[in-house]
Structure 1
Amino acid sequence: MPVYVQHEVLGKVSDVFNAEAIWQAPGLALFTRRPLLRDLLERSPRELRGRAPVRCFSHVTLMLAQEELDDDRHLTRGARVRDLAQSLTALHQKDFGDLLGSDDVRYDVIGTEQLEPGEVEVKFGHAVYLPSAGEKVLYQVSSSPDGSSWHPVCAMYLHQRLALIGQDGEHASHGAPGWAFGSDGALLLVNDGPDAPIEVHVRPKGAFECSFDGESDAYAITRRGVLDGAGEPVRLLLKIARVHAAAPAARSIRPAAVWKSRTDATAVPLSQRPRGPVENDATFAPAAQQRVSLVALALPRLSRYRDTGATRLDIGLDHALALTPQGMPSAIRFCVDGDDQLQAIMGEQAQNVQAPARFAPGGTAAIELRAVPMAMADRYCATLMLPQPASLPVAGGTRLVFGRSAPMLAALRVLDSPRFLQQSGAAASADRLGLSRSAFSFEAGSAGFQIHRLSATQALYHLDADLQYVATISSDQAYLLPPGHHLVAGHYVLRFDA
């Protein structure tokens, strides 16, 4: 059965602003006593093909005790909440990147009086939606028991597909004031876009009567057997008012479709405080203009890492010229062996290559191998330009860390997997070659990015907008990187845009 709303209390967490403590328990999941957020998302995929997950949920509401959010607002002006949302977004993108497709990962952190300090509650599912910054409200939904006084229920945004309305936020994505039909009943609103009429579905099958009341311009909902003191059916009116300026499609006035009854618990809500609709209801993700993009991969000389047992680095690109997902065939592969020999492999044919070189597998767009600057040639044998650069926004005025153990920009560390590296001994992530656990910190400012090297063994290189060598950053003092310039750390060539 589909997971319309998955609602779980994670219990006590040592630090509710520590994203990793919420995301996944240390060690093997087999030995953890309770699931954390990553486990819940993994166990409840958005879409399956056979038994294999092909999509995951990407919108998550996180609930903390209200007093902890109040303290954060008083002491740090909400900085810890913003960092928590950013870090969870990065962990989500890193661990489920192959199941996201084009979906944006969005986190909203809200407070509730129903949680004790140290407790964390999460909610996600098909009917959980978080609007993007500036997204317009398409419908405002309100309810009334008699048509004289109306109470807000929720907003339906332009790109929002589903909303589940029921008794309260514990049993649906939104609670309707005046709902008297029990926790097992619900209304599902289906939005097919601004040019289609909204659909109203009721469940369980056969329990509700739902029709459009033209006099009140609202849907009238009754449930069989639910009567008031006078023996009359208890009625709830649901008004779905168009807000967006685009011309709406003609309303289809007909009884609402029914929703089949469910016998299993696909939604396990425990507690939440419902919120009224606010047109500018923004998430805590910062609306930053600064971005960091992964534009190329610096292919290392494996001879430098013989003592680690590394024997071969293998990077594949598919026919769309994106990194090949695990287990899928590649249109072209680039391999570096333990003697620093670079090969390009297409199908069964392998050829030794030297940069610069260009390749067009299957007649697709060209892939470029660039020669590395002389100052970097002792560490790298070539630069593989990525036809589809990955990019993430970053918040200005906040000092952030990049490295193997840092969640920030984790989605850009695309080689953080043992599948890319062959070595004798235990499998290890390719990021262990040349990237420290905490490599550098960066902070966006008006003149560019302040870079601080955090590890004495970390090699950092400054390249200009055209990827020409500028400097080696060997000092622990602050270094100003102009907007549009690049920084090389480990395998990653990162462009910092203001």
Structure 2
Amino acid sequence: MPVYVQHEILARVGDVFNAEALWQAPGLALFARRPLLRDLLERSPREQRGRAATRCFSHVTLMLPQDDVDDDRHLTRGARVRDLAQSLQALHQKDFGDLLGGDEVRYHVVGADAVAPGEVKVKFGHAVYLPAPAEQVLYTVTSSRDSAIWQPVCAVYPNQRLTLVGQDPADATFAVPGWPFGGEGGILLINDGADAPIEVQVRPKDALECQFDAANGYYVIRSKRGTGDTAGQRLLLKISRAAAAPAALAPGTQSAPPARAPSVWKPRAAVADSEMTAMPLAAGPVPEAASLQPENDATYAPVARHRITLAALALPRLSRYRDTGAQSLEVGLGAGLAPGAPATDSVIRFAVDDADEVHAITAAGRQRVTVPSQFAPLDGGRVQLHAVPAQMADRYAALLGVDHGPTLPAAAGTRLVFGRGMPALGALRVLDAPQFLRLQDGSAAASADRLGLSRNAFSWEAAGDGLRIVRLSESQALFHLDGDLQLVAQVLEATQDRPYLVPPGHHLVAGHYVLRFDA
């Protein structure tokens, strides 16, 4: 395998800012001198014909002891660093001008804590590139172990043809955070110009395998050898074209949220149910429910088994409940990706804060995520964060899909009541515990269900043509979503005499819960 990155150390250097001392030893004592920068470039040409060099490398990075670079910045505002780069550039141009092939000579001098006093580390090679001052980024490369927490790896510029990423920056252009494969190999990025897609290859080919996940837009890298610490490990690599990125707010800023009526905790007393729930004021009129044509009962077999399934969790906008002291709501997904209390052994956690920002949390850290998004924290396991229909966006920040949510039977002809005061259906209310909601004083609330779910929210009765809904609380917001989680209507009128019909495969949203009726 070719050496894509040459990494050498110049030792016993009296003055690390002396360009002539780093470039070439004085005199003709050829057998006694140490190999210096000129010798290294001469011994490792970019191209050669036979033994004769026909082209040399022109981009070189020098790493000096960090203390020396800091002292220079303090005393001369970095003048010695700039002089060193300019002097080496001139020496390079003078001695190798006929081997440059029109390439521009560029030097970059930085400090590094790993460099010992009196040493200088040199880095050049096929995969070492220094961008021009005005050159714009063409691609950005990020990596992840769980598809939730993405960390920056490097940028790729239009004229940067080869980039090698791996474990050690000494053997690669850039190190990948959390690289799980040890020194087994690296990932080579080949850029043949702005009009061609970037090519991804593994080096060496027998060490790693790389597959592109088109559905998620990233590469999945695994070890082929599958032994030792690298067995079963994977790395996700995402390459994003910078020019295609949409305009975004500056880091740390966000658009001003619309004004909303605050909510308050209600004292628990023997009063109406609606007074015992933290309920926001209605944002405005909502179109009436669209009429639905019921299906023919005869199309359903008498032995059909009706079920109510928790299909998603509606993550609330906590800014609506700021007066309650609610600071964050956090949900954990375990090894089976079923929802539960957030814990250190959760595969992935999702949190929404009082600024209505949604974050993903894994062992790799915490990161704000956009909505909608899809995650693959486990092989073969997908987690979908759905966008909220526009008519519900003032209440909810996201819909967290639950592929393995609890399911309860819904016997035909039996009317059941759903709400935080009804323990019979408590298995569907997975957030009814103090671990999920944190208050501003650091304590845990009694139950997250107090945000937006009445003690008696609604009742349902399963039938062949759908789920017949009756509103039991005037303050309870109910939303009807179709099979794709798109809004059909807000349920405003649903009485015992005229119940609201939710067809099979559709969803009903109440509080944090998106319930699907299956028949």
TM-score (norm 2): 0.46
More relative contact order, 1 or 2 (CA 8 Å, 6+ apart): 1
Rg comparison, structure with higher value: 2
